[in-house]
Structure 1
Amino acid sequence: MRYLTLILSLFCWQFSFAQTFTYPKLNTQGTDIRAFTPANWKVIDTAFGDLNNDKVEDLVFVLEFNNPIIEKRAYGDGETELIKEFQKPRILAVYFKNARSNNYKFAMQNNNFILRSQEGGELGEPFKNLTIENNSLNLAFEGGSNWRWKLNYQFKYQNKDWVLTQANNIYYNITSGEMTDKLYDFVNKKMKLTSGNIFARNNLNDVSEETLYYAQLRTLNNFKKPWTWEITKDNFL
């Protein structure tokens, strides 16, 4: 009876918490990352570098909530396939640094794009890292089991938006090495396709190039999360 009461209490706590959870609105400015970390959240990755081409190092970080909640996460086309999951929410945040005041100023908060800790399949944690290189924000993910996938995204700050300029989707078998590697250049609307063996990338692999067709570039505002953009028939990024 005592165990049943404990289980019921835990269920009620989860239901109540899920009903009341809302994402925090991050502070607009501050001198360091502590000023932007809300109560009950923790920083799981950080990167510094110039994102708006002003020769000053900006700040990017990923936050994770301390407790799991029930979230509806998009799969497939991002509209018709929504799956409820009990997991810890995450936030991607960007702050531009002001050279004169030495303060960081809010630039962007995204509550959806960073994969959660349970979205990597049998491999476990899918979020690998974030980096800033050549004025670009880079996000890396990996998951699967015997067949694994790697997703790398490059976003650039253009016209006050975060535009997806490049991406890389690798699908491979860890035993045989069988591989498909798709490198996307969204600025020039090209995709380089490499197929063969991941253990012999420079030998006997087939390489081809295709033209991409789409109306407009995707951004962090209209790209829900990884695996939800069907670029071509049954080809998701």
Structure 2
Amino acid sequence: MKTRIFTILFLVLCVLGFSQNNESNYPNFIGLNIESVKNNLDWEILQNATGDLNKDGFEDYSLIIESKDSVLEKRCSDCFLLKNKARILLVFLNKDGEKKVTIQNNRFIARGDEGGMANYIEPELSIENQLLTIYYQFTRSNQSYTFGFRNDQMEIVRAESNGVESWSGNFESDKYDFIKNVITSEIGNISQDKVKTEIIKINSKPKTLSEFGEMYDWEIAENKYL
């Protein structure tokens, strides 16, 4: 009897793990206008940005929305199911005079408790010069991702990672250029002028915004993750 109970519990957990990783558990906002998204009672707007993304002369829109209630999510293959307030990134393009969702990513935006030593993180969102940038400020580091339209798709065009150790003053800065396909990596100490610079070739194909999973699960080069 006990064996049967444990088996049932195991199967239930497996099903939960599968279902919470299934994209169908998130609302499908593709094709909806801004008002329809704003009127969804289960989600609230966390960040927004406006600007022309696809060089058509019309103002486009991007939103990060957050679930009002915590939901069970499995945020990596080795992670446990944990309760989080889910976050979704939406990009609205102007179609026939109306802004509609054309890009939706349910996994990429870090949740509020995924900031390491920072108790809570919330990304900044901006659109400038036809580029969408997502920026995170952590306790002793920062991370940014910048996307632009190439070949009719919104792809990563650049990214930047900066961090410093509080106890030693050692710092590391990585600038990813997906146009030139190189990483400019610098290491040094904030108390010294000497900086070691290394240029690393990027062999990975740029990902589209829709293809991004959780932060830092994409290895660009050895020990270089986005």
TM-score for the superposition, normalised by structure 1 = 0.77
Q: 2:193 aligns with which of 198, 204, 209?
A: 204
Q: 1:22 aligns with which of 13, 20, 25?
A: 25
Q: 2:92 aligns with which of 91, 95, 100?
A: 95
Q: 1:167 aligns with which of 159, 169, 178?
A: 159
SS in 1 for 2:109: coil
Q: Does 2:207 align with 1:218?
A: yes
Contact 1:65–1:88 (8 Å) recurs in 2: yes
CA gap of 1:179–1:227, structure 2 versus 1, over 3 A, is same
Q: 1:140 aligns with which of 111, 135, 141?
A: 135
Contact 2:144–2:161 (8 Å) recurs in 1: yes
CA gap of 1:228–1:134, structure 2 versus 1, over 3 A, is same
Match of 1:179 in 2: 171
Please tell me the residue identity of whatever aligns with 1:169.
S
Q: 1:69 aligns with which of 43, 46, 71?
A: 71
SS in 2 for 1:124: coil
Q: Which moved more, 1:209-218 or 1:50-59?
A: 209-218
Mapped to 2, the partners of 1:83 and 1:138 lie a distance apart of: 30
Match of 1:85 in 2: 82
Contact 2:53–2:130 (8 Å) recurs in 1: yes
Contact 1:163–1:217 (8 Å) recurs in 2: yes
Q: Does 2:117 align with 1:122?
A: yes
Contact 1:125–1:143 (8 Å) recurs in 2: no
Aligned length: 206
Please tell me the residue identity of whatever aligns with 1:136.
L
- The alpha carbon displacement at 1:40 in A equals 1.3
Mapped to 2, the partners of 1:107 and 1:27 lie a distance apart of: 6
TM-score for the superposition, normalised by structure 2 = 0.81
CA gap of 1:91–1:207, structure 2 versus 1, over 3 A, is same
SS in 2 for 1:122: coil
Encode CA deviations 1:88-111: one digit per residue, 9 max, x unaligned: 11110010124x63x212211110
- The alpha carbon displacement at 1:218 in A equals 1.7
Contact 1:117–1:127 (8 Å) recurs in 2: yes
- The alpha carbon displacement at 1:175 in A equals 5.3
Contact 1:130–1:139 (8 Å) recurs in 2: yes
Q: Does 2:36 align with 1:35?
A: yes
SS in 2 for 1:226: coil
Mapped to 2, the partners of 1:153 and 1:27 lie a distance apart of: 22
Q: Does 2:41 align with 1:52?
A: no
Q: Does 2:186 align with 1:194?
A: yes
Encode CA deviations 1:25-65: one digit per residue, 9 max, x unaligned: 116243xx332232211001000011001122100010000
SS in 1 for 2:154: strand
Match of 2:220 in 1: 231
Alpha-carbon RMSD across the aligned residues, in angstroms, is: 2.4
